[in-house]
Structure 1
């Protein structure tokens, strides 16, 4: 019986272009990195709490390279890969036997999340651990409301559908990870203008990569969006929220 292909929600070409633009923007001075910094810090805290000391690790998507530097300093042999450089998360990995695999900010925009998790599990050594973190359901509530208000009676697809805690748990069970842990934490950031938020999203690889991205906003719609974003704040600042979902499990 033929395996049913996953729905095509995201465009692989747009995803590649967005990540390449992200890498270029991250090379600029004062590039925003608060999302990747939060994820890296969380991974380090988890490993320290578990007293897990891997000998080998694969790190996917950490454009800051901070996690690799920290693990290397602890004597871990680290391999880093980046989707923008051609690493395909939805294909079998060209290597295996890692004690630890960490995926940061990547799994929220692959079409076949179960398949990607299966490939991670296969690339782990027995007793190895997987940690995956990415923006999840509940992120960018202000921006979502602004876009709905601007589009009016005919809303267009502009922001990504996202994985929630329940779906994350189901994914780990489906892909046979042992001792799964699923949690979500908020990260709040204040912005003076909508344009700054949009700039931060681009610089951190969170632009629209939907297969059907919808029509571009016209000048009048952009002006209304700016006004609506400002009206959602106080004292010249609007607080936006990111929800970071972390999935972890073991290969037994």
Structure 2
């Protein structure tokens, strides 16, 4: 039996922590707004929509301007409760068969253990010719953070994986095709952010429930490694700030 890549319980705890301390969903809001813009260009009514991932209580209300009914599912208990939805894991939940005219999935599918299974279950829940639209963090995201962690590991003589593997655009298209979606389109939005220090970046990641949830937990940072990582991150900067890049993969595909 293959061990899960991501710790399922820790995934829930990370999302609940973000909800408890106040989620900062600026990147997710950006992706959600882009999805709404694209949906407004589709000239058809949506009677019932499935919203997967809901870090903001405003999202269901905004989506109801496009779809009469919105069902919310989030892998975190707190986010689900606040949005009046249900908690479930995307690769272990039966969404029903031919239930929805639309699925909007923002910011969770990149930490699902069985992405292929999750997409198949979503596709099964959609009526014929219904769109799946959404966004995940993928590709070459967080290069400055990754470089800083590698440098810290080298200084300690133990380079270990501390960041999540990311889905590339081509691989996401293949996954959608394999799940029986038609005409997948993948766009990349490269968001450039500037940080005064590594701590500010880590704070943002925590508030987005985007810190490490790997099942194989890396060893804890020593004080020397933590200092080296902070120094390496600052050394990549210019005029007191270090640029970080987040690649948001926007996707659109259609149920057959």
Work out whether the TM-score is over 0.5: yes
CA–CA separation in structure 2 for the residues paired with 1:75 and 1:61:
17
Counterpart residue number, 1:60: 52
Distance change >3 Å, CA 49–CA 94, structure 1 → 2: closer
**Which of these residues, 105, 108, 119, is aligned with residue 107 of structure 2?**
105
CA–CA separation in structure 2 for the residues paired with 1:151 and 1:11:
23
In the alignment, structure 1 residue 36 sits paired with structure 2 residue 28:
yes
**How much does 1:129 deviate?**
1.0
CA–CA separation in structure 2 for the residues paired with 1:245 and 1:195:
25
CA–CA separation in structure 1 for the residues paired with 2:169 and 2:131:
19
CA–CA separation in structure 2 for the residues paired with 1:230 and 1:64:
32
CA–CA separation in structure 2 for the residues paired with 1:6 and 1:102:
29
Counterpart residue number, 2:216: 212
**How much does 1:12 deviate?**
0.7
Counterpart residue number, 2:225: 221
SS of the residue corresponding to residue 162 of structure 1 reads: coil
1:104-159 residue CA offsets vs partner (Å, 9 max, x unmatched): 11111111000000010011122211113110020000000000000004211100
SS of the residue corresponding to residue 39 of structure 1 reads: helix
CA–CA separation in structure 2 for the residues paired with 1:190 and 1:95:
43
Unpaired runs of 5+ in structure 1?
Answer: none
CA–CA separation in structure 1 for the residues paired with 2:31 and 2:95:
25
Contact persistence 2:40–2:66 (CA under 8 A): no
Please provide the CA RMSD for this pair: 1.6
CA–CA separation in structure 1 for the residues paired with 2:110 and 2:39:
23
CA–CA separation in structure 2 for the residues paired with 1:32 and 1:167:
28
In the alignment, structure 1 residue 24 sits paired with structure 2 residue 20:
yes
Contact persistence 2:14–2:209 (CA under 8 A): yes
Q: Which moved more, 1:125-134 or 1:89-98?
A: 89-98
Contact persistence 1:6–1:112 (CA under 8 A): no
**Which of these residues, 160, 163, 173, is aligned with residue 164 of structure 2?**
160
Counterpart residue number, 2:191: 187
SS of the residue corresponding to residue 130 of structure 2 reads: strand
**How much does 1:75 deviate?**
5.2
Q: TM-score, normalised by structure 2?
A: 0.90
CA–CA separation in structure 2 for the residues paired with 1:91 and 1:179:
25
In the alignment, structure 1 residue 87 sits paired with structure 2 residue 88:
yes
Shift >4 Å, 4+ stretches: none
CA–CA separation in structure 2 for the residues paired with 1:165 and 1:94:
26
SS of the residue corresponding to residue 45 of structure 2 reads: coil
Counterpart residue number, 1:118: 120
Contact persistence 2:51–2:103 (CA under 8 A): yes
Counterpart residue number, 2:144: 142
